[in-house]
Amino acid sequence: MPRSAAERRPCLLQRLGPGILSLLFLTQTLAQEKTTGILPAVVSLDSSALAGFDDNPPAIQNLLNTALALTKRNLGYLYGSADPTQKGMDCSGTIFFLLQQAGVKDVPRSADEQYTWAKTDGTFQAVQGRNLDAPELNSLRPGDLLFWTGTYAVNRKGAVSHVMIYLGKAKSDGLPLMVGASDGRTYRGKKYFGVSVFEFRLPAEESKSTFIGYARIPGLNRGT
């Protein structure tokens, strides 16, 4: 009796050899990552771990608390997503979601557009230095938007490719911290993925990426 297609498949794969099997596995893995994103490995903190948190204006406290709560949902990095129900988000999608939750209107979706939006508001501070002692960072405050170029290839020259929110410093040791989505940044020397708390550090000289500066969030009430 002729065998079914399902019965013939193992023999066919054996004849194709290990090279073809590896290619098939890689293709399947890439397709899965495109659909599900990078699996999460995240860091969460409570606001009590941030130095001077209670000194922030109420709107900033609410924003940061919402961001920290998001890190506790074990979300991966998913390009194109601004929806936590998709189990992952990208960097600008995370900012878009958080600012909408904070009641900020007309928030752009992409990192490049968010940079232009903030810069047009007049609070953008460019940073030329390559370390955290740069004098341009003296005005950096919790709740500020952080912008990078060159974190991945884009079709526009100088386009901003990454954005996060500055959290402030750890109460325990003064480590500068930020929150957002990444497909691989560090926290205390270990790499994490997804919507998480990360160390805020500037790229090394040899890095392809550049931290270009920060800005207040347009339309967010910082009054007391």
What is the average per-residue pLDDT within 73-82? 96
The tokens describing 35, both together, are: 């659909």
The boundaries of every CATH 3.90.1720.10 domain in the chain are 38-215
Q: Look up the CATH number of domain 38-215.
A: 3.90.1720.10
Q: Which residues pair with 214 in a beta bridge?
A: 125, 146
pLDDT over 70 percentage in the chain:
80
Asked whether residue 5 carries a pLDDT value surpassing 50, the answer given is no
Residue 23 CA to residue 27 CA, distance in Å, equals: 6
For residue 144, give the nearest of 63, 53, 211 by alpha carbon. 63
Percent of the chain exceeding pLDDT 90 equals 73
Count other C-beta atoms under 10 Å from residue 11's C-beta.
10
Query: Is the pLDDT assigned to residue 19 strictly greater than 50?
Result: no
pLDDT score, position 208 = 87
